[in-house]
Amino acid sequence: MNNRFKALVTGFVLLMAACGDPGNVPKEYIQKDKMSRILVDMTLADAYSNEVSALTTPLPDSVRQEKIKVYYKQILDLHKVSVKDFMASYNWYESHPDRMKDVFEKVQADIAARKNKLGNPAEENAPVRFRLKSFFPNAEKAFLLPASDTVRPFIKRQP
């Protein structure tokens, strides 16, 4: 019976050591807070790329994807993370869905907070472009925008 008790205790200790803390991320991977900040920036870069492409001459998707890769590399440089470390961490998070869920919840909360900070587009202090959207859903297509090349149509440009 003494050997059974030792085997049971040893098994229990090994089981507890294997489980570890379910909320922790190993030190060799990017921690949750930093990973969520990186993913927020990547999400914003992707949205920016889509918006710029919609406002200007639409780019082929392959060209837009190449631009996004440049943005992503700049974001990783900004956060002082190599592509290799990011991919290793991202793959680790993919294999641990509970921790990936925590990261994406932080990303979603951050983006929602940023969106709420902007306020309601129909409010008086919102940029004209947003106020017009509440009255004219296709206002962007009908009005000239500052990003446009033809700010003054029908006026010959001087060289």
Number of domains in the chain: 1
d(CA 12, CA 19): 11
**Is 9 within the bounds of a domain?**
no
pTM (two decimals): 0.62
pLDDT for the residue 60: 77
**Is 102 within the bounds of a domain?**
yes
pLDDT for the residue 94: 94
**Is 156 within the bounds of a domain?**
no
pLDDT for the residue 77: 94
**Is 1 within the bounds of a domain?**
no
The mean pLDDT values, 10 residues at a time, for the chain of 159 residues are: 60 50 82 95 87 70 84 93 95 94 95 81 60 57 50 46
Domain of residue 57, residue span: 30-142
Distance of CA 44 to the CA centre of its chain: 6
pLDDT for the residue 38: 95
pLDDT for the residue 120: 65
pLDDT for the residue 81: 95
CA–CA distances in Å: residue 93 to residues 2, 78, 89, 101: 42, 21, 6, 9
**DSSP code for 43:** H
pLDDT for the residue 148: 46
CB 70 within 8 A of CB 48: no
**Is 135 within the bounds of a domain?**
yes
Q: Kind and range of the H or E element at 16?
A: helix 2-19
Structure tokens at 127: 């940029």
**Is 66 within the bounds of a domain?**
yes
**Is 11 within the bounds of a domain?**
no
Q: How many CB atoms lie within 10 A of CB 107?
A: 19
**Is 22 within the bounds of a domain?**
no
Rounded to 5, what percent of the chain is helix, strand, coil?
65, 0, 35
DSSP letters spanning 63-116: HHHHHHHHHHHHHHHHTT--HHHHHHHHHHHHT-HHHHHHHHHHHHHHHHHHHH
Residue 81 has phi, psi (to 5 degrees) of: -130, 135
